[in-house]
Structure 1
Amino acid sequence: MTKKIKTLILRTAGTNCDAETARAFTLVGATAELVHINRLIKSKSLLSKYHILAIPGGFTYGDDLESGTILANEINYALKKELAEFIKDGKIIIGICNGFQVLTRMGILPDTNAEFSKPNAKMQAALGLNNSAKFESRWVYLKKEPVETKCVWTTEMPEIIYLPVAHGEGKFIPKDETIFKAMEKNRQIVLRYADETGGFANGQYPLNPNGSTRDIAGVTDKTGRVFGLMPHPERHVVFTQHPNWRRGIPKEKMGTGLQIFQNGVNFVKKI
């Protein structure tokens, strides 16, 4: 009997990419249920019934106290134990845009010392205001790290990926150089902003749309099972979403975001 993969799409006030994220998971054969944070807090054991947790994009609580802060505090205060167990059980998490912001503010990414489950776990990075001082909505090229990472979400992805971004606070900032070096050593940097040939952006705008340190666009935790990225893979899951889809580009080069969701589901099927 085929294992049915269950995905929990977390939502709350201001979430606005939940439906697209759910669709992406259903396209690759998983089930996806939209679950409000209040319901999860009320029934904490509910999380254990799922294989995948997805925290989608949006502007949770209006990003009034910096992006993702309120939702991150809610989860840490009410669900940290359950989330730590979720990860310990070998399950997987993806945070997209606002979801990435939430995961960094919770201290779950990059978590170079694997201390999230401990009471003294601290933030090691943040997503700050774009250098342009404005909301950036554009398509960007991303390059996978030359050295293969542990990230289960990006296995067998093409070297160069094309995805849209849409954020005002997407500048990835490690706490200090020690954290950055630990991320490099642990192979936790997964995606960097690049040009169409695969050359890193080197901070050049608009190739790097926000000024992220070392062009970082996506990172994983030490296990490779928790993945956060600012670009939106759920907005490029079919070839007609590509801005140039009518210009004769081969269909197999479009919809590259879908592979990220397929990789997550494939990983769960093997455990």
Structure 2
Amino acid sequence: MKFGILVFPGSNCDRDVATITSSVIAQPTRLIWHTETDLSDIDVVVVPGGFSYGDYLRCGAIARFAPAMQAVKEHAAQGKYVLGICNGFQILTESGLLPGALVRNRDLHFICDRVTLKLERNDLAWSNAYEQGQVVTMPIAHGEGCYYADPDTIKALEDNQQVVWRYCDRQGQTTLAANPNGSINNIAGICNRAGNVLGMMPHPERAADPMLNHTDGKGMFSSLLNSALQLN
């Protein structure tokens, strides 16, 4: 399984993801500059965190126009995998690959912390290495991580089981106190209806290296390998 990691001016988590995909799970990996348009050799595109184009205008608002993002749309339309992490999630919503928007955090502060999350679906290529309802811990680092959408969109997400991760407490309760940024329904990550495009604000790549004694995020990458093996 070959991973391609987009690199925009201002990306700063691209190498973190590459370390996990190339070293920890030992898969072919290449960095994709934002002007590239040929992703035909890639199985999984990762749109990483950072501050693409300095986050001028809105987070992800400029990156959506990058030539590589048109190629990502075509990649997703073919049923191939796309993962957006933090700024990458913002870019996916700005590009229309996922619904809704990421807006300023509830308290208007940048948050850098670890949060607990509950998995809502373990039947996806991104999540089959976890137990249904499993509670994990992953880092967050964002100023615009509050997930927002109109009521009809939220209802559609819930009805179609497109919410993949929710902020929760250690007992798995999705309380207001466990919601770090004010996201509607404690939403931390969603997928498209087909399940091949996933966006999330927490950083699984920062919780996937055994050297850090924190591997709750590794399951997302292991899940993809499991899916590839099942296809073969």
Q: Normalised by the shorter chain, which TM-score bucket?
A: over 0.9
**Shift of residue 87 of structure 1?**
2.1
TM-score by length of 1: 0.79
**Shift of residue 74 of structure 1?**
2.3
| Structure 2 CA distance for aligned equivalents of residues 36 and 185 of structure 1 | 37
**Shift of residue 79 of structure 1?**
4.8
Match of 2:72 in 1: 83
**Shift of residue 30 of structure 1?**
1.3
Unaligned runs of 5+ in 1: 110-123, 243-253
**Shift of residue 61 of structure 1?**
0.9
TM-score by length of 2: 0.92
Runs of 4+ in 1 over 6 A off after TM superposition: none
Q: Report the identity percentage.
A: 36
Match status 1:151 vs 2:121: no
- Listed as ranges, the matches of 1:227-246 within 5 Å are 227-242=198-213
Match of 1:108 in 2: 97
> Secondary structure of the residue that 2:221 maps to in structure 1?
helix
* RMSD of aligned Cα (Å): 1.7
> Secondary structure of the residue that 2:195 maps to in structure 1?
coil
Within the candidate set 97, 122, 128, 2:86 is matched to: 97
Match status 1:219 vs 2:190: yes
**Shift of residue 22 of structure 1?**
0.7
| Structure 1 CA distance for aligned equivalents of residues 83 and 13 of structure 2 | 13
> Secondary structure of the residue that 1:151 maps to in structure 2?
coil
Higher Rg of the two aligned structures: 1
Within the candidate set 142, 162, 166, 1:167 is matched to: 142
| Structure 2 CA distance for aligned equivalents of residues 166 and 179 of structure 1 | 26
| Structure 2 CA distance for aligned equivalents of residues 141 and 37 of structure 1 | 32
| Structure 2 CA distance for aligned equivalents of residues 213 and 79 of structure 1 | 27
> Secondary structure of the residue that 1:49 maps to in structure 2?
coil
Q: Determine if contact 1:52/1:93 at 8 Å carries over to the other structure.
A: yes
Match of 2:50 in 1: 58
Unaligned runs of 5+ in 2: none
Q: Determine if contact 2:45/2:72 at 8 Å carries over to the other structure.
A: no
